[in-house]
Amino acid sequence: MPETVTMEKIVAFCKRRGFVYQSSEIYGGIRSSYDYGPLGVELKRNIKEEWWRRMVHAREDMVGLDSAIIMHPKVWEASGHTATFNDMLVESRTSGRRYRADHLIEDATGREVEGLSPEELTEIIEGDERIKDPADGGRDFAPVRPFNLMFETYTGPVKSPENIAYLRPETAQGIFVNFKNVLDTTRVKVPFGIAQIGKSFRNEITPGNFIFRTREFEQMEMEFFVEPGTDEEWHEYWIEERFNWYLNLGLSEEKLRKREQTEDQRAHYATRGVDIEYNYPFGGWSELEGIANRTDYDLKKHAQYSGQRLEYFDQANNKSFIPYVVEPAVSPDRIMLAFLVDAYTEEELNGERRTVLKLHPRLAPTKAAVFPLSKKEPVSTIARELYDDLKGDYRIFYDDSGSIGRRYRRQDEAGTPFCVTVDFDTIEDKQVTIRDRDTLQQERIPIQAVRERLQGLISG
């Protein structure tokens, strides 16, 4: 019977196998910051590459962008982030701790309170005896107040108000402010999209659940510009497209669902939002990805604040319009956690326990391992030559230490889908054995055919 996966298990596993470490650990760590170790960095890169491949390279209606993290402060005024990108903060007077008011209320009462005003939240906290400070059980709270989530910094040596700048809280604005540049310098025609992957920063009041909610994270966002009136159709299209991306990469269908955002939960710019949720081991269904209809909100605002025309001229119909925008937005960190949790399996095998990470071959950090059965010549030389031939296209691992059983176990844990063993028969028959991580099937094939066989298995 496979055991239930807990977050404790995943966190310990990630550290032990070099997927994720606490940041600055030798100094006691810093809350909500994580570093990706040798296997983690490969997994996250593969997630980003799969997204880029499907979103940009496999399409004719998409281009990419890599915009700066620090932008003109006016961008955030225009986008509404300076005024409204807030969480509701409540401070406990007994412990001095600060909480997100909505989380505090929801955890204690189960009541959904997103979108309520500071005054309404304060009233609920004061009036409901069940709401206590989780740290000490106290019930003395200061009034709820909005807290802006943008990280502030200064550009240049003088720390004066006119030099304030922000670390971007979403990558999307870099796309909107480059809309005209892309129109003028490429031959895109509406409908088309601009995709971007990069870091975003939010000074979350209560980060947590490992890499699920952190203050520094990456986003993969795409703004799809369409003719007004076709936006709802395109919204449906992108919800399906993104949902299927997860299924195609092997995420369990029963742990994935779509959920319509309520009016209170929608961002200030959206008329409709649908979340793709994953059933995580902490607290159940949680947002993995959001797909929003942002209308013409952002382009209109930037046109207004910059004084530039941010319109599209439709030559076929001889008319100009401000496109509507459909946006799928997700963090590869959150995707990585979902895939890790989903793939982590403990099972019995021939009376022994094995831990195996059943990742899709495209996502697996290491695609194949090469094992010589002996460290001696000529087996080791043949294995080494095979390894040299395979490495470069993918990350391949060479391992000649310990029993074959132990070597398999190590690769199973790392999620390596294929292990290729060079044995004594190889010297004569020039054949090797490929073992499949999940089915445990072994196949004997000519050494010459390994490269092509692996390519087929991985791109499957």
Q: Which residues are at the interface with ligand GAP (CB under 6 A)?
A: 170, 172, 202, 204, 213-214, 217, 219, 221, 287, 289-290, 329-331, 333-334
Q: Which residue's Cβ lies closest to ligand GAP?
A: 331
Listing DSSP states for 270-304 in one string gives -SEEEEEEEEETTTEEEEEEEEEEEETHHHHHHHH
Q: Which is nearer to ligand GAP, 102 or 289 (CB)?
A: 289
Least distance in angstroms from the C-beta of 121 to ligand GAP: 20
Contact between 163 and 155 (Cβ < 8 Å): yes
| CA–CA dist 397, 445 (Å, integer) | 19
Q: Which is nearer to ligand GAP, 79 or 366 (CB)?
A: 79
Q: Which is nearer to ligand GAP, 270 or 432 (CB)?
A: 270
Residue type, 436: D
Q: Which is nearer to ligand GAP, 178 or 355 (CB)?
A: 178
Q: Which is nearer to ligand GAP, 282 or 394 (CB)?
A: 282
Least distance in angstroms from the C-beta of 96 to ligand GAP: 23
Contact between 69 and 198 (Cβ < 8 Å): yes
Least distance in angstroms from the C-beta of 289 to ligand GAP: 5
Contact between 36 and 42 (Cβ < 8 Å): no
Give kind and range of the element (H or E) at residue 40: helix 38-52
Least distance in angstroms from the C-beta of 211 to ligand GAP: 7
Least distance in angstroms from the C-beta of 30 to ligand GAP: 15
Q: Which is nearer to ligand GAP, 166 or 371 (CB)?
A: 166
Contact between 187 and 315 (Cβ < 8 Å): no
Contact between 154 and 137 (Cβ < 8 Å): no
| CA–CA dist 22, 31 (Å, integer) | 8
Q: Encoding tokens for residue 221?
A: 């966002």
Least distance in angstroms from the C-beta of 330 to ligand GAP: 4
CA distances from 19 to 116, 208, 316, 378, 450 (A): 39, 18, 52, 35, 28
Q: Which is nearer to ligand GAP, 171 or 411 (CB)?
A: 171
Least distance in angstroms from the C-beta of 105 to ligand GAP: 20
